[in-house]
C-alpha cells in the first residue's frame, strides 16, 4: 500500500506538489495523469526516495520513505521512464547484479532471473551487452529487474513509451495480473487508452493539485453525455473548461 499524507514539494518558490493526500491499497492499479509540468515526476521521485517532501510524509507498506528508507525500498520496485542500465553488462549480468543488491541467494536468484527472462521474452538478446539494446528492449529489462525481488509495490513511469504493440500488450496484461495477485501498482502515463483499459482508479494532477481522484465511471459522471471518452474528460479537467457537474461530486481524496 502507498500513502501520501499532506505531501508538498517546493523547488525554491515554485510549489510543484501541493498538500497531496492519497491512499492506494494493495491490489489496486492506480494511474496518475496530468499535463507536462503537473508534478507527476516530482510525486514519483518522492515516492521512491529520490526527493524529500518539503512537508508531509510518504509511506510504502507503512514505512516512511525518508526515515525508514531501507524498509520502504524492500517493498518497492521502480521502472523509470529512462531505464538506468550499465552499458557494458549483458542483460543477464545486470539482472544478477540487481539480485545481489537485493541479497537473493544464488539458486533463488537464478530461478527468478530465468522466470523474468521468459516473462519479458528477453531470451534472444539477454546475453548481449545492454548498450546494443533498443529503448523497448531496455524497458523490458528494466521491468524484469524491478520485479526480481517480488515487491509489494511497483512504480512505473511511462511504461508504454517506446514499446512495440506486442510489448505493450505484454506489459498491460502483466500489470493487470500483478494487481489481481495483490501488488499495488502506481503508473504515471500520458497513454489515455491504456488508462481506460487497465486502471482501477485515476488521479488527475494539474499544477501540483489533484483535480480528480476516482474511477473512470466516477469521472464519467461529471459529464452529462454518455460514453464520453477519457480524452474528452481529461481535456476538460486540465484545460480549466467547466465540467457539466462539479468535480468535487465525484472526487474522493
What is the closest distance, in whole angstroms, from the C-beta atom of residue 249 to ligand ATP in the complex?
25
Residue 42 touching ligand ATP (CB under 6 A)? yes
Residue 73 touching ligand ATP (CB under 6 A)? no
Pairwise CA distance, residues 44 & 111, whole Å: 30
Q: What is the DSSP letter of 249?
A: G
Applying CB under 6 A, among 38, 47, 79, 142 the residue interacting with ligand ATP is: 38
Q: Residue 24: beta bridge partners?
A: 2
> Residue 36 CA to chain centroid, in angstroms?
16
Residue 13 touching ligand ATP (CB under 6 A)? no
Residue 167 touching ligand ATP (CB under 6 A)? no
Residue 39 touching ligand ATP (CB under 6 A)? yes
Q: What is the DSSP letter of 237?
A: H
* Residue 140 buriedness (CB in 10 A; 0-12 / 13-18 / 19+): buried
Residue 34 touching ligand ATP (CB under 6 A)? yes
What is the closest distance, in whole angstroms, from the C-beta atom of residue 12 to ligand ATP in the complex?
7
Residue 90 touching ligand ATP (CB under 6 A)? no
Stretch that binds ligand ATP, among 8-16, 136-144, 173-181, 242-250 (CB under 6 A): 8-16
Secondary structure class of 40 (helix, strand, coil): helix
Residue 67 touching ligand ATP (CB under 6 A)? no
Comparing CB distances to ligand ATP, the nearer of 24 and 104 is: 24
Comparing CB distances to ligand ATP, the nearer of 79 and 126 is: 79
Residue 211 touching ligand ATP (CB under 6 A)? no
Pairwise CA distance, residues 187 & 14, whole Å: 25
* Residue 173 buriedness (CB in 10 A; 0-12 / 13-18 / 19+): exposed
Residue 83 touching ligand ATP (CB under 6 A)? no
Q: What is the DSSP letter of 72?
A: H
Pairwise CA distance, residues 102 & 70, whole Å: 11
What is the closest distance, in whole angstroms, from the C-beta atom of residue 45 to ligand ATP in the complex?
8
Stretch that binds ligand ATP, among 11-19, 124-132, 147-155, 229-237 (CB under 6 A): 11-19
Residue 191 touching ligand ATP (CB under 6 A)? no
First to last CA, the chain: 16
C-alpha cell of residue 142:
528494466
Q: What share of the chain is helix, strand, coil (3-state, %, to 5)?
A: 40, 25, 40
Residue 253 touching ligand ATP (CB under 6 A)? no
What is the closest distance, in whole angstroms, from the C-beta atom of residue 189 to ligand ATP in the complex?
10
Chain positions contacting ligand ATP, by CB under 6 A: 11, 14, 16, 34, 36-42
Amino acid at each position: 500500500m502507498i500513502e501520501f499524507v499532506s505531501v508538498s514539494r517546493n523547488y525554491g518558490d515554485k510549489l510543484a506538489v501541493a498538500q497531496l493526500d492519497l491512499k492506494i491499497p494493495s491490489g489496486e492499479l492506480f494511474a496518475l495523469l496530468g499535463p507536462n509540468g503537473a508534478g507527476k515526476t516530482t510525486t514519483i521521485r518522492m515516492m521512491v526516495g529520490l526527493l524529500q517532501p518539503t512537508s508531509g510524509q510518504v509511506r510504502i507498506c507503512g514505512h516512511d520513505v525518508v526515515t525508514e528508507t531501507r524498509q520502504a525500498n524492500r517493498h518497492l520496485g521502480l521502472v523509470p521512464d529512462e531505464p538506468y542500465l550499465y552499458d557494458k553488462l549483458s542483460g543477464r549480468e545486470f539482472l544478477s547484479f540487481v539480485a545481489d543488491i537485493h541479497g537473493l541467494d544464488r539458486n533463488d536468484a537464478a530461478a527468478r532471473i530465468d522466470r523474468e527472462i521468459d516473462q519479458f521474452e528477453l531470451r534472444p538478446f539477454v546475453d548481449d551487452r545492454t548498450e546494443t539494446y533498443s529503448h523497448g528492449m531496455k524497458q523490458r529489462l528494466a521491468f524484469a529487474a524491478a520485479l526480481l525481488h517480488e515487491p509489494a509495490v511497483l512504480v512505473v513511469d511511462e511504461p508504454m513509451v517506446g514499446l512495440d504493440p506486442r510489448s505493450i500488450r505484454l506489459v498491460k496484461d502483466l500489470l493487470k495480473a500483478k494487481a489481481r495477485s495483490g501488488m499495488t501498482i502506481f503508473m504515471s502515463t500520458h497513454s489515455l487508452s491504456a488508462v481506460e483499459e487497465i486502471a482501477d482508479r485515476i488521479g488527475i494532477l494539474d499544477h501540483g493539485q489533484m483535480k480528480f481522484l476516482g474511477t473512470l465511471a466516477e469521472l464519467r459522471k461529471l459529464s452529462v453525455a454518455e460514453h464520453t471518452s477519457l480524452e474528452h474528460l481529461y481535456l476538460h479537467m486540465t484545460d480549466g473548461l467547466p465540467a457539466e457537474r462539479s468535480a468535487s461530486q465525484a472526487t474522493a481524496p
